[in-house]
Amino acid sequence: MELYLFRHGIAEDKDLGIKDEERSLTKEGRQKTEKVAQKLVKLDLKFDLIVTSPLVRARQTAEILIETGLSSQLEESSHLAPGGEISSWLVDWLEPRNYSQNTQLALVGHEPDLTNWAEILLWGEIKGSLVLKKAGMIGIKLPETGSPLGRSQMFWLTPPRYLS
């Protein structure tokens, strides 16, 4: 299975007095995310499913990915909200669904959670080494059998400036 960890686009500033879960993408954030999504379409990337955090900015990012044609399926998971743990997501969400090995799944979420999840999948621990910019993406191949923790392989890490 290929797992694509996609960080939401540029959102309204935290200092504007808006609740964190209600912060929207800015105009620049929408435009940049649309450009990245269009480039991914040109690269013939398709997701079987996009799963998003319930926060507004992540949901808007996921909807842009859907509108661009990267997938026709969108689901929400509270596991992708800030502070979500990968071990809970694996046990409660991924394992029960028993996806085929050639599934391409995109997760839209937040930092530092997405890079923490990637590092746990790659090295079994958080090292603080990966950087994921807004509207950036990390691609990770999960092993065919057994736990993916510390046993997965990264095949994609692209800052948005290379895709827009």
Instruction: Quote the CA–CA distance of 3 and 134 in Å, as a whole number.
Output: 18
CA angle 118, 14, 16 (to 5 degrees): 160
Check if the beta carbon of residue 149 is closer than 8 Å to that of residue 140: no
Nearest to 140 by CA among 126, 119, 125, 113: 119
pLDDT score for 81: 97
The sign of the torsion formed by the CA atoms of 125, 126, 131, 137 equals: positive
Instruction: Quote the CA–CA distance of 122 and 141 in Å, as a whole number.
Output: 9
pLDDT score for 159: 87
pLDDT score for 40: 96
pTM of the full predicted structure?
0.96
Check if the beta carbon of residue 21 is closer than 8 Å to that of residue 149: no
pLDDT score for 17: 84
pLDDT score for 123: 97
What distances in angstroms separate CA 121 from CA 3, 7, 9, 115, one per listed residue?
Answer: 10, 17, 23, 10
Nearest to 72 by CA among 93, 48, 94: 48
pLDDT along the chain (164 residues), means of 10: 97 88 96 97 97 98 98 97 94 89 96 98 97 96 94 94 82
pLDDT score for 108: 98
